[in-house]
A and B are shown apart, each in its own frame.
Chain A
């Protein structure tokens, strides 16, 4: 026998031994891992409580479904708008027709504009007294806790029901200081100069297809103007409720915070569940002037038949600060990436976001920051949780332009997956166009740490409690940025979402 043959035989023997050992190891490791991840049961559908209460679909005007020039003209006529606004709408419609759906991100093929009514006027006038709001609509907002919140901790409230604002009110002392908080239609009428100067300049209709759509059929929304040096100490809130099935909501929010002023604005959204597809394509334009500060918080809890294709953008001047707090829980598909354009030296942007994707949901969310001026700072902190086959995608852009020296940017995104059918993706893009930047990006993905669960259980908690506590802890950085009442609401939402996922 030659030496080579012996070698060959040896090799075969070693290989066979290795393979056998590996099989044993594989089995053992599988068992180990399986023990770590105990069987979990899922409840696909659960009662979302007050969010799911439907009202009979009563309306004064509902335009026919679909989108064409006639419909756009009709919306404008109903609102008795000035010509410049109609022109803007028609321009946007033309852009909409040219643009295509995105080639990236979630599938939007189910969304058919021919099946969506773009304008529905509820049977209600705009009121500044809750008692005047029609019973049914008021009841909905009562259940959502809006009037109560207004009394307790808000300085102003706007409530939109389908396409129109039904309630708007602000504390007197603020209007005395010159703060304006009104529904958008009234703003078009009362402040045409300001609107012509700002409307559509931050968030442009040609940004993407759904921003064009938004400008063509926008209705409702809020306008806020905070004059120089005024600090609005208590938050303002707009609440958007969609009741009608197969409809779209396209509210426009425009906020101007003048030099040295500050504001906290809260946006809440919800809708009951239907089997038809609803669309929300709102537009938010924020102007933060020199030394001003704006905090924009959103708790979004759309129902699972909603396509939430919202666009938000802020332009921040010298030493201004924009703070985004964003919680995405509902909707079937969300594509939401609030953008901060830092145009003044020393401007700052902070983004804190959480998204929770359950069965059948694709939440494609994130943030965009463009550093256009020197010494600007940005931080992005996001958490996403996916379970039951849900998809949570974190998508972001950080761009530092030529000449924007001394910029600092830090991103931290974490994804938590509660089972193996779900998806948790992170898709960040970083574009640096000069060398004087201090940039860091970190992302983590994975499941709940077993040791943490074990630790909590050894302290007397049940496994379910331990897991829920860890998830709440995971969400804590976002929760702590919210006013207490909203943090409680968010925790309740998390508990609601976790029901079934854990334990």
Chain B
């Protein structure tokens, strides 16, 4: 087993080397091929789809995708045919220390699909996950993908989402990152169709020594595409978060509109927040905006809540939770939604 360092999530336009924000180190260590016993895969993986999608984008990195192919222990292929949400619970524990899942979602024209992938730790074992999700949203279809990650703090989570959106189609992505000491997330979408849309909402909470790398690359290719990225979260203890989002206006995407917004609440002196919000434009008939802001919780909000009798921590919890609500609202399961809310609240209270 070689310990060669793998790097991934490379920025589409590089910047100063010394800042070390061009890419990120991947901490996947487990090279063994071991089965995942918690559940069985659905459907048959379409090899052609894999090839087509990896030609568009190689996910976190070619090496990570190669490992995903070699070690795959759970494969799912869904072709959405009714509008019922698909919910998959992906527990990891001492019995299942490695989850290498491949997921393919095809949403045929006019269909409306929802898939929830919920990955969590059942015990305190260090586990690893290397996941790929390929999504093909065909013309006039709509897809909502919800990714929830609650691994324990020793664990490593790597997820690559690569998507393609057709004419008049829409892809909603909601991601909730509440766990894993090392989280690397990759999202890349090609909006090929006329009037295609991509909407991303992310909520995260980093604590302890968590390292979060949240990477988004939204490409406007078709005319009049609409995209937005909203990333909201809070950092405490020694957590490090790096948000690296790119909206890429390819020549010919006239009439497109892209927005990205990042808001980080910093709860401790020792946190580190990095943001690299890129706008790349090769087309003039577009509107691109990005806004990033970071800081402590607004005193006035805090004062208001505390004047209503809440403790300081409870007020903080409430405010952080409220920033995550737009993301949580995408989760169809009420019980899970409440559960996540509770956890965010608890973790801030316990601090």
Name A's B-contacting residues (CB within 8 A): 11, 14-15, 18-19, 22, 26, 29-30, 33, 36-37, 102-105, 395, 397, 415, 417-447
Distance in angstroms from B249 CB to nearest chain A CB is 8
Query: How many angstroms between the C-alpha atoms of A447 and B249 in the bound complex?
Result: 13
B285 touches A29 (CB 8 A): no
B284 touches A418 (CB 8 A): yes
A446 touches B288 (CB 8 A): yes
Q: A104-B15, A435-B268 are in contact. Are A429 and B21 (CB under 8 A)?
A: yes
B294 touches A430 (CB 8 A): yes
Inside 8 A of A427's CB, which chain B residues have their CB?
Answer: 13, 15, 276, 278
A431 touches B274 (CB 8 A): yes
B269-295 vs A, Cβ < 8 Å mask (1 yes, 0 no): 111111111111111111111111111
Q: A15-B109, A22-B167, A415-B281 are in contact. Are A433 and B272 (CB under 8 A)?
A: yes
Q: Give 30 pairs: A residue, B residue, CB < 8 Å, sorted on A.
A: A26-B194, A29-B224, A102-B16, A104-B17, A104-B22, A415-B279, A417-B283, A420-B252, A420-B254, A420-B284, A423-B281, A424-B281, A425-B280, A430-B294, A431-B19, A432-B264, A432-B272, A435-B270, A435-B271, A436-B296, A437-B266, A439-B295, A440-B291, A441-B293, A443-B277, A443-B291, A444-B288, A446-B284, A446-B286, A447-B285
Question: From A30, which residue of chain B is reached at the shortest CB distance?
Answer: B223
8 A Cβ contacts from B218-274 to A: 223-224, 235, 249, 251-252, 254-255, 264, 266-274
B139 touches A19 (CB 8 A): yes
Most buried by B among A30, A423, A432: A432
Inside 8 A of A15's CB, which chain B residues have their CB?
Answer: 109-110, 139-140
Inside 8 A of B292's CB, which chain A residues have their CB?
Answer: 428, 430, 439-441
> B14 at interface (Cβ–Cβ under 8 A)?
yes
B168 touches A22 (CB 8 A): yes
Distance in angstroms from A437 CB to nearest chain B CB is 6
B295 touches A397 (CB 8 A): no
Question: From B22, which residue of chain A is reached at the shortest CB distance?
Answer: A104
Q: A29-B224, A418-B284 are in contact. Are A22 and B274 (CB under 8 A)?
A: no
Query: How many angstroms between the C-alpha atoms of A429 and B17 in the bound complex?
Result: 12
Inside 8 A of A423's CB, which chain B residues have their CB?
Answer: 280-282
A438 touches B269 (CB 8 A): no
Query: How many angstroms between the C-alpha atoms of A439 and B140 in the bound complex?
Result: 40
Find A441's partner among B251, B275, B281, B283 (CB 8 Å cutoff): B275
Question: From A447, which residue of chain B is reached at the shortest CB distance?
Answer: B284
Query: How many angstroms between the C-alpha atoms of A420 and B223 in the bound complex?
Result: 13
8 A Cβ contacts from B120-177 to A: 139-140, 167-168
A425 touches B279 (CB 8 A): yes
A430 touches B275 (CB 8 A): yes
Question: From A14, which residue of chain B is reached at the shortest CB distance?
Answer: B110
Distance in angstroms from B64 CB to nearest chain A CB is 21
B311-346 vs A, Cβ < 8 Å mask (1 yes, 0 no): 000000000000000000000000000000000000
Query: How many angstroms between the C-alpha atoms of A188 and B288 in the bound complex?
Result: 50
Question: From A438, which residue of chain B is reached at the shortest CB distance?
Answer: B295
Distance in angstroms from A186 CB to nearest chain B CB is 35
Inside 8 A of B276's CB, which chain A residues have their CB?
Answer: 427-430
Find B269's partner among A29, A30, A421, A435 (CB 8 Å cutoff): A435
B14 touches A426 (CB 8 A): no
Query: How many angstroms between the C-alpha atoms of A429 and B278 in the bound complex?
Result: 9
Inside 8 A of B286's CB, which chain A residues have their CB?
Answer: 445-447
Find B285's partner among A33, A397, A426, A437 (CB 8 Å cutoff): A33
Query: How many angstroms between the C-alpha atoms of A428 and B21 in the bound complex?
Result: 11
B293 touches A440 (CB 8 A): yes
- Enumerate the 3 nearest inter-chain pairs by beta-carbon distance, A residue then B residue, closest first: A104-B14, A435-B266, A417-B284
B267 touches A429 (CB 8 A): no
